[in-house]
Amino acid sequence: LQAQQGRLTAEAQKEVADYLDVPVVKVHEVVSFYTMLTEKPRGRHHIMVCKTLSCALHGSSAVFQALQSELGIRPGEVSADGQFSLESVECLGACDMGASVQVDDTLYGQMDEAKTKKLLETLRIRTGA
């Protein structure tokens, strides 16, 4: 449902709860706990930057700042053109590749400010933004 609608609305959570035959609150607990699930609208591309120690030691803060500056948005916001949303997350499971960034389902490692700008450029070209 999230892939179809871009988020899990209250109605979607009710539909899942009915399908699984569990109380809606149980579905809501899962949705509010896992960062890959969301109730809030996201951009066409959702960008997640790892903020955990290994990536922090490899410059994830600078990558995160560069993304905010380039996109003109803060964490949890969607860019004016609807193309990008941004959030910082806990470990993406690629600690040896820090600083790690995930865009939708694709993981990018050893990111720095220059690579981040290049990645945005590539994504913008792909989406025509």
Closer residue to ligand FES in complex, CB, 13/100 = 100
Please provide residue 77's backbone torsions phi and psi, each rounded to the nearest 5 degrees. -100, 165
Q: Is 107 in the site for ligand FES (CB under 6 A)?
A: no
Binding segment toward ligand FES, per CB under 6 A, in 21-29, 66-74, 86-94, 110-118: 86-94
Question: How is residue 101 written in tokens?
Answer: 């960034």
Residues 2-61 that bind ligand FES (CB under 6 A): 50, 52, 54-55
Q: What letter does residue 95 receive in the DSSP assignment? A: G
- The yes or no reply on residue 65 touching ligand FES (CB under 6 A) is no
Q: Under a CB-based contact definition with an 8 Å cutoff, are residues 1 and 8 in contact?
A: yes
Cα(64)–Cα(55) distance, rounded to whole angstroms?
Answer: 11
Q: Mapping DSSP to helix (H, G, I), strand (E, B) and coil, where does residue 78 land?
A: strand
Q: Tell me which stretch binds ligand FES (CB under 6 A): 9-17, 24-32, 62-70, 89-97.
A: 89-97
Residue 44, SS3 per DSSP = coil
78 binds ligand FES (CB under 6 A): no
Binding residues (CB under 6 A) for ligand FES: these are: 50, 52, 54-55, 91-95, 98, 100
